[in-house]
Amino acid sequence: MSCVKVPAVRQFENLVHVSGLSSALIQDHYKLYLGYVHKAHELCCHHGQAVRQKRSATDNDLRNLKRDLTFTLAAARNHELYFSLLGSGEMDRPRLLSDAVKSDFGSFDNFLSDLTRTALSTHGWVFTVLDHHSGHLINITSAQNGQFPMWNATPVIAIDMADHAYYYDYGSRRTEYLNAIIRNLNWQNVVVNLQSALDAMMAAGLAVAVEKFGPVSDPSDAPATAELTSAHAAGV
């Protein structure tokens, strides 16, 4: 087995600014993320060496190792995206994001409504992805913690809908948790992710990116005035 270079643990200083979630919940959740990264290191750097020495392509140990490594890396990556987007509370949304959402959902309220309904339909993850084939933003789910279910698409938002993400603070009140997360979303960081996805599409020569978005502008472009007219402004 080739040993991938497992990314280092990431710090998220922005989490101190999260409102609506207790510090105990956030710290426990972050510890869970640390566990995924440390397990990935352990699997790759220690168990991986032992498996390599057996040199058997049909060894069950290798199969199990790869399965566990896939799970831990994907779970770590999902949580990194989720944590990186929290703690803003800013209502302004960059124009690039507003235009993309309006094109695909008709309005930002429609997008938030679809994101909410999609999130509440799963006990795993909800992702907003930019599909490289169509150029559309789509809200999709993953039932499992360590999984991103769609290739050739870039996630720009990830929200953890597993029990461990909210139960300590909200019990079964999943809608309240979700509203808190949406109020905390850092739309500037979301558009940075969108920009990265567009750059990848442009670099790959995907015409749909140019047709839909035109020349890509600075992600810090003048924000569209974003008065949250939806129920999310006050909580659904």
Under the rule (CB under 5 A), what is the footprint of Fe ion? 160
Query: For residues 92 and 169, which CB has a smaller minimum distance to Fe ion in the complex?
Result: 169
- Give the whole-angstrom CA distance, residue 224 versus residue 147: 33
Query: For residues 114 and 160, which CB has a smaller minimum distance to Fe ion in the complex?
Result: 160
Residue number closest to Fe ion, CB atom: 160
Q: How far is the CB of 89 from Fe ion (least distance, A)?
A: 21
Structure tokens at 132: 């490289």
Task: Return the amino acid letter for 37.
Answer: V
Query: For residues 80 and 160, which CB has a smaller minimum distance to Fe ion in the complex?
Result: 160
Q: How far is the CB of 172 from Fe ion (least distance, A)?
A: 17
Q: How far is the CB of 220 from Fe ion (least distance, A)?
A: 30
Q: How far is the CB of 180 from Fe ion (least distance, A)?
A: 15
Instruction: Reduce the DSSP state of residue 154 to 3 states and report it.
Output: strand
Query: For residues 94 and 124, which CB has a smaller minimum distance to Fe ion in the complex?
Result: 124
Q: How far is the CB of 143 from Fe ion (least distance, A)?
A: 13
Query: For residues 12 and 105, which CB has a smaller minimum distance to Fe ion in the complex?
Result: 12
Task: Return the amino acid letter for 110.
Answer: N
Structure tokens at 127: 């992702």
Q: Three-state secondary structure along 8-51?
A: CCCCCHHHHHCCCCCHHHHHHHHHHHHHHHHHHHHHHHHHHHHH
> Which ranges of 85-229 would DSSP assign to H, the alpha helix?
95-105, 108-120, 167-170, 174-184, 187-203, 207-213
